[in-house]
Amino acid sequence: MAKRKISRSKQKSQLKLLSDHAIGEFEDHRSDGLNFEKYANVFSNVLVGTEGPFVIGVYGDWGSGKTSLMRLIKKNVSERQESDSITVWFNAWQYEREKHPIIPLIATIIKSIDQHICNNSISERVRTSGKKIMSALSAIAYGFSAGIEVGGHLGGPKGALQFSAKDVIDRSEDLKKDPLLEKSLYYNAFERLNKVNTSELRIVLFIDDLDRCLPDKAIALLESMKLVLAQQGFLFVLGINRAVIEGYLKYKFQEEYAISDLDGAAYLDKMVQLGFSIPSHLGKMPDLSKALMNESNNIGPSEADDIANIIELVSDDNPRKVVRFINNILIDKEICSELGQKYDLYVYTITRALELGWNTFYKNIVRNDSICDKLCTLNNSVKGVPDTTQLTTLQDENPESSSYYSKLIEDVKLRKLLFSVPGIKWLNETGTRKEAISFMVKHGPKSSTDNIMIDNLFIICIDAHLTELYARVERRLARMQDEAFAFNSIDILNYDSLANFNFNGPANQPEHNFFIISIADHTTIKKAINAYQNLPAGRLNTLFICGDESSYEEVHSNRLRAIRIDLSRYIETDDNKELMIVIRNLSRRIASRTAKMLSEYRTFK
């Protein structure tokens, strides 16, 4: 039976996401939104005009554009007609499992030379030099491989790595008389490479992804490269995250040689003659974002300006984060379409930005519509991004929400986000905002800081003499905030102060507060239960820490959440020095057990 044709109108439309490849990596038309072309022109002039050996280090963090700049430099050098330069691209990360990473590097060089000298337009002198370099490099690779069959394994051209032991280890009688030189398996190979006239040919190597290798492998490659290829006519461009390499060097020398004052920067500078740090991308992200959105062809130009400004705030001026954020927007839109759910680009973009960039604040504000309303009212009066004075006034008028306004006061990017055109829409349209928040909960991807957020953590010491111990617990818990839990403030209270204390947080949202009630022993259990009954929270928001078995059994029998930590030594110790030791040990145990319970809060609330 013939297949029925699907009409064009019923065919699924295609969604084009942005790939994470560097500018110039493929034969595409991705525009240079970072002004790298000017830098590439300068460095291509350097590589064509400078005699080797010479090493350029391109330094930058993850996603900053090291590969893009290096690809543009390689492209410029390759297109220079007046230069007999062979450009070689080597991805170090692909070969980090090799025992000798220099071997696949040499194989890559040989393959590039072989392709170059097959060109009929080059002179015979260049072709001869190329063959001699290939022969010498083959011999060196053989020396490193120590008899391993490397011909087909390294992916070089057929016959390029067919080594002969006789060619490589052809020692003379005079050489054998020198025991030091006799130990070198590849001494002759180095000599052959030194004698090749490389003035006819320039080898420019681009070594990328060193920072994706394990640091020890990256250092091994750098060391062997310096040993083997520091020859006339060889030039290198290395893409490096400097902090990773320098940190490993310092660690290595400390651990293996007990040298604690090694200067990792100085060590690296001995290998690299010219270091270049990727310049800041501050102010460049909006143009890059608009160019990428235009490439995706899914966001209209009328909205692109506003969205580009949001991406600038959340991207940390990192091009890779820009690509990933735009892909998130596109995927959110497509999923909503498939689900038949209304999609608002501005509201969903702000929700995604808050979730990824300000996760703690996001988890708080999405539960508190009144904060959004107050910020809308403030926007109506100031017409723009409010300054810190205006926010401080709002904070003073609403002490129960102080933590929200504190974050806005200290974080100018967050203020710009919420008081942008999309941000105001997010604050104003409660229904659409809640739909977007519900969508994010269901469909992720989740932020690495997807934690339990508590506005206020209250530690209530039923026994006044426990206050000193819990002051130490408070400091430990503050330091232990991580991906599992977080809070805005910790308060230590005693039983007598509870009657007059005004707990922060909306009364109808008790989950904003978490209470720890500490009991030294069974004598104060009635006070503890009375305190619990008067707290603005339910059973699951309270944890009892009991200092003896009987108080623990009493609390537990009332189906209340409790842990037992023996406080007898703390209560009975009189010696100040011993007391400090007891406090240190107990506070560590209490903080650790409490942190575990807080981490589980999402599972039992």
Tokens of 501: 């204390």
pLDDT of residue 29: 54
With H, G, I as helix, E, B as strand and everything else as coil, classify residue 31.
coil
pLDDT of residue 483: 45
Residue 379 is which amino acid? N
What DSSP line would sit under 40-57, residue for residue? HHHHHHHHHHSPSSEEEE
CATH 3.40.50.300 range(s) for the chain read 36-277
Q: What is the mean pLDDT of each run of 10 residues along the chain (605 residues)?
A: 44 71 56 80 92 90 87 89 80 79 86 83 81 83 54 39 38 41 53 67 88 75 77 88 78 70 76 90 88 84 91 90 91 90 94 88 79 85 81 83 83 92 92 88 54 68 82 75 60 77 51 78 86 73 86 84 83 76 80 72 43
pLDDT of residue 507: 41
Question: Which residues is 206 bridged to in the sheet?
Answer: 89, 237
pLDDT of residue 10: 44
Q: What's the CATH number for 36-277?
A: 3.40.50.300
Q: Which CATH superfamily is domain 452-604 in?
A: Glucose-6-phosphate isomerase like protein; domain 1 (3.40.50.10490)
Q: Give the whole-angstrom CA distance, residue 378 versus residue 65.
A: 40
Q: Give the whole-angstrom CA distance, residue 356 versus residue 201.
A: 50
pTM above threshold 0.85 = no
pLDDT of residue 236: 92
pLDDT of residue 601: 53
425 phi, psi to nearest 5 deg: -65, -40
Question: Which residues is 542 bridged to in the sheet?
Answer: 515
CATH 3.40.50.10490 range(s) for the chain read 452-604
